[in-house]
Structure 1
Amino acid sequence: MTASTAPPQTPPLQFTLPDLLAKFPWPRNLSEYYCEAKAESSAWTESFHPFDEEGLKGFNLCDFNLLASLAYSPREKEIIRLGCDLMNLFYVFDEYTDIADGEGATKIRDIVMDAFRNPHKPRPEGELLLGEMSRDFWIRASNYVSPDAHCLPHFIHDFDTYTEAVAREADDRAKRVYRGFEDYLSIRLDSSGCLPSFALCEFGLDLPEEAYHHPRMAALRIQGTYLIAIGNDIDSYAMEKARGLELHNSVALVMVEQNLDVQEAINWLERYAAGVHADFLDNVANMPSWGEDVDRRVKMYIDGIAQWVRGNDDWTFESGRYFGSKGLEIQKTRLMTLLPASTGFVKKSA
């Protein structure tokens, strides 16, 4: 067949990404400690040799240190560094569990949680690197606050539910399970990693339990997670579909559940997120008072959650995680196309 008689090629599917935070009142803010914390945390992460040379390039392209420096930006240098380490730990855990089934992910989860719960116990010879990586992080994080600080059990609880949800996600992926949107969102609340990320915002603030567990505060954590998760699902859909991970993405699930195309599903999620956004601002505006000193610390915590919502969106376009070198251009045009099939940064034999 000659070129002149060849059938026309179908153009790649293009869709528009909404700006879910166009009216979100917290602006972009990058920590002054970004470069310093990035250098330290990158060296720390690479010391565990989690990736081969190709994987390391992909890891550096994502720049999770930038995410932490945007998300924890109002805080002191120590929290920025711990935030960088936590984001890099999340990433390594996600990459290793992304290629595992439910049983394999559960084994990895058990290693990580044992390291958190027993940080002074030496890790077994030949164990997966995530055990020592988690142990080292948690010793430094827990030393930053008093031994009886409430933030410590809060973090352990939230990281436990996170790893459990990731294992469930891996099992769903292996079995090709399609969940309904609401069922999926309840899992995403934990599998997103937002709650343990928010838990680090509490470090050094010494919040009273009454304030931490207040219904409006608990709702803020859920709503902040949903805003991040839905935005992340929309922005990462093309990459996740290319890697065969779209079963744990609300765009794909809404498409199936409601028989919509990609753009229609994204538009539906945009409307859903607008309701969450309104509820988030309502809870911030109507948070009760616990006295001047506690209210000051509560405000820092709330600003931490809100900055996480904003910072995650900024990082999505400023890093190379989802859009390569085109992030800032896509942030302006909001136009995205589906990508060719690809793999992650950890090989199956790792």
Structure 2
Amino acid sequence: MSLQFRLPDILSSWPWPRTVNPHTEQCGKRLMLQQKSQQYKFFPSKVQAGLCQAAIQLASLAYPKFSKAQLQVAMDLMFVFAVFDDSSDHMNAESVQIWANAIMDTLRSPLAPRDSKNELQMLILSSFWLNATQNMSSSAQKQFIEEFESYTRSVTEQAKDRDGLVVRGVESYLELRRNDLGAKPAFSLILMDKDIPEELFESDLMLLMKSHAIDMLTLANDMFSYNIEQSRGDSHNIVSIIMAQEDLNIHQALDHVSKMHDDLATEFLQLYETIDRSANPSSEVMKQYADGLGNWIRANECFSFESRRYFDKDGLTVKQTRLVELLPRVGVKEDLRDE
């Protein structure tokens, strides 16, 4: 008899609905044509096409109000993330560090000659960035580079953990994930066409909303990805960490993570209401940013079930029933530890 667990419905009352950008088809065709070109072929065709399709799908959900030009930037970035994440997962820390350095050099000097070892990957990055700079304000570009550097640094730290078989505690894990998730550079696109004073982005309200949104994405991702990750023995997941740290079974751990997510969601909505009531001249910009964060949280959930990232062809069924068949681990007899 197969073993099952139930995913909590963490966004049943979330006020941001599923929305798709109307420019998806046009921008998606451009990205698909670009990734099929000879210059971009460094993954097997099927794998690369899948990464490209995922980038199109996620960007269209995450940035539904973007113009055509802005959405193209967002799709290109999602493809950059897909390439880096897929490749770095199979690298040791030293290799990831070399690649991270090459990425930052490319962002700072996109037209400079590239190291032949990273030429294809950097070609994708420089193509993205040259287009992005035509559509981003100077403050958005500055923020993006800073956030992307934090992202690459954290991905390198994750690789070090993987090499050393390090298992972090809850707080240490969340601290790392606030950067290696890639949410911060993705969020820097929300106001990409506006020059925003640094002090506004560094205000307590904006920082807290961003932090809550990132933690919500982390918790959701880890609940959705738990089944795949446990099947291959990957403990870099908040559910696995809490099971080990608190001596809980999968059902109890999911309830624990769901409660953490609910508390963050409640606080996020309270902060959003604070902006709504504010007479601050910057409140409209802050509300646009907050709406972007809120929509990202919904988009992430939709993408997780609608793509094949975590549930293969069964995503929509799982979304409806919330039931997941526990995948076996090779050579390990699994149970749900129902005491």
So what's the TM-score if we normalise by structure 1? 0.88
Cα distance in 2 between the residues matched to 1:269 and 1:210: 33
Q: Sort the Cα spacing of 1:137 and 1:58 in 2 relative to 1 into closer, same or farther, 3 A.
A: closer
Establish whether residue 192 from structure 1 lines up as the match of residue 181 from structure 2. yes
How far off is 1:45 after superposition? 3.2
1:120 corresponds, among 92, 107, 111, to 111
Quote the RMSD (CA, aligned, Å). 1.8
Cα distance in 2 between the residues matched to 1:339 and 1:44: 36
Cα distance in 1 between the residues matched to 2:265 and 2:150: 24
1:34 corresponds, among 6, 24, 40, to 24
Structure 1 segment 160-179 matched on structure 2, within 5 A: 160-179=149-168
Gaps of 5+ in 2: 331-339
Aligned to 1:236: 225
2:74 corresponds, among 83, 100, 123, to 83
How far off is 1:240 after superposition? 2.1
Q: How many residues align?
A: 326
How far off is 1:127 after superposition? 2.7
How far off is 1:104 after superposition? 1.4
Question: Is the contact made by 1:173 and 1:247 (CA closer than 8 Å) also made in structure 2?
Answer: no
Structure 1 segment 194-209 matched on structure 2, within 5 A: 194-209=183-198
Establish whether residue 20 from structure 1 lines up as the match of residue 28 from structure 2. no
1:318-342 per-position Cα deviation (integer Å, ceiling 9, x unaligned): 1111111111111000011233569
1:183 corresponds, among 172, 193, 213, to 172
Matched letter for residue 42 of structure 2: P
Establish whether residue 150 from structure 1 lines up as the match of residue 155 from structure 2. no
1:328 corresponds, among 294, 297, 316, to 316
Matched letter for residue 6 of structure 2: T
Q: Sort the Cα spacing of 1:128 and 1:336 in 2 relative to 1 into closer, same or farther, 3 A.
A: farther
1:268 corresponds, among 256, 264, 276, to 256
Question: Is the contact made by 1:207 and 1:298 (CA closer than 8 Å) also made in structure 2?
Answer: no
How far off is 1:126 after superposition? 4.3
Question: Is the contact made by 1:37 and 1:77 (CA closer than 8 Å) also made in structure 2?
Answer: yes
Question: Is the contact made by 2:183 and 2:214 (CA closer than 8 Å) also made in structure 1?
Answer: yes
Question: Is the contact made by 1:330 and 1:336 (CA closer than 8 Å) also made in structure 2?
Answer: yes
How far off is 1:168 after superposition? 0.8
Cα distance in 1 between the residues matched to 2:153 and 2:85: 12
Question: Is the contact made by 1:17 and 1:336 (CA closer than 8 Å) also made in structure 2?
Answer: yes
Question: What is the percent sequence identity of the aligned residues?
Answer: 31
Matched letter for residue 212 of structure 1: F
Matched letter for residue 322 of structure 2: R
Q: Sort the Cα spacing of 1:36 and 1:341 in 2 relative to 1 into closer, same or farther, 3 A.
A: farther
Question: Is the contact made by 2:99 and 2:118 (CA closer than 8 Å) also made in structure 1?
Answer: no
Gaps of 5+ in 1: 1-10, 343-350
Matched letter for residue 67 of structure 1: L
Q: Segments of 4+ in structure 1 off by > 4 A?
A: none
How far off is 1:57 after superposition? 5.3
Question: Is the contact made by 1:192 and 1:229 (CA closer than 8 Å) also made in structure 2?
Answer: yes
1:50-94 per-position Cα deviation (integer Å, ceiling 9, x unaligned): 31134235435x622111100011221112111111111101100
Cα distance in 2 between the residues matched to 1:336 and 1:52: 30
Aligned to 1:141: 132
Structure 1 segment 298-317 matched on structure 2, within 5 A: 298-317=286-305
Aligned to 1:5: none
Q: Sort the Cα spacing of 1:338 and 1:54 in 2 relative to 1 into closer, same or farther, 3 A.
A: farther
* Aligned-partner SS, 2:189: helix
Question: Is the contact made by 2:32 and 2:49 (CA closer than 8 Å) also made in structure 1?
Answer: no
Cα distance in 1 between the residues matched to 2:45 and 2:198: 46
How far off is 1:185 after superposition? 0.3
Aligned to 2:334: none
Matched letter for residue 59 of structure 2: A
Question: Is the contact made by 1:176 and 1:247 (CA closer than 8 Å) also made in structure 2?
Answer: no
Cα distance in 1 between the residues matched to 2:280 and 2:170: 37
Aligned to 1:68: 59
Question: Is the contact made by 1:224 and 1:309 (CA closer than 8 Å) also made in structure 2?
Answer: yes
Cα distance in 1 between the residues matched to 2:32 and 2:328: 29
How far off is 1:49 after superposition? 1.4
1:143-190 per-position Cα deviation (integer Å, ceiling 9, x unaligned): 2134xx211111111111111111111111121111001110000000
How far off is 1:307 after superposition? 0.8
Aligned to 1:109: 100
1:26-53 per-position Cα deviation (integer Å, ceiling 9, x unaligned): 1110111111111112222343113113
So what's the TM-score if we normalise by structure 2? 0.91
2:41 corresponds, among 24, 43, 49, to 49
